Homo-oligomer: A and B are copies of this chain.
Amino acid sequence: METKLMSDIQRLETNEKLSRVVIHQGVAYLSGLTADDRSADAFGQTLQVLRKADALLGKAQSDKSKILSAQIWMRDINEFDEMNRAWITWLEGTVPPARATVGATFALPDIHVEIQFTAAV
């Protein structure tokens, strides 16, 4: 029984390439999230990503207060302050997770920011 529980994996919002959420042993692993409205700037795209994270974490019976770590990638690292403005607004009243932010390139050139979370469930 314990072994069964240990190896249990739950997946949410699955397509042929990825599952948006994978839950195992009390930890939710999210896929990298990007904004749907990519006409928005770095601040606006970050807010969109964070609202998407709220929805996914909710489906995983978690929330932003239970995030363990976040990996943030930015198209232009000079937009770091804009991303942080959205991030800090979103986190207000919550103890923040571990985090790392670096610049990278994306499959769609109008993506400003992508964020991947792990969270406690």
Task: Mark A residues whose CB is within 8 Å of B.
Answer: 6-7, 9, 11, 14-22, 24-27, 29-32, 66, 68-69, 71, 73, 77, 80, 84, 87-88, 91, 95-107, 114, 116, 118, 120-121
B104 touches A102 (CB 8 A): yes
- A24 and B68 within 8 A (CB): yes
A25 near B27 with CB under 8 A, answer yes
Counting chain B CB atoms within 10 Å of each CB, which of A21, A29, A73, A87 scores highest?
A: A29
Closest beta carbon of chain B to A90's beta carbon, Å: 11
Bound together, the chains give a CA A98 to CA B115 distance in angstroms of: 12
- Are the C-beta atoms of A100 and B114 separated by less than 8 Å? yes
Smallest CB–CB gap between A103 and chain B, Å?
A: 3
**CA A20 to CA B7, docked complex, whole Å:** 21
Q: Which of the listed residues A21, A73, A105 has the most CB atoms from chain B within 10 Å of its own CB?
A: A105
Residues A96 and B14 in contact in the complex (CB < 8 Å), given A101-B107, A102-B104: yes
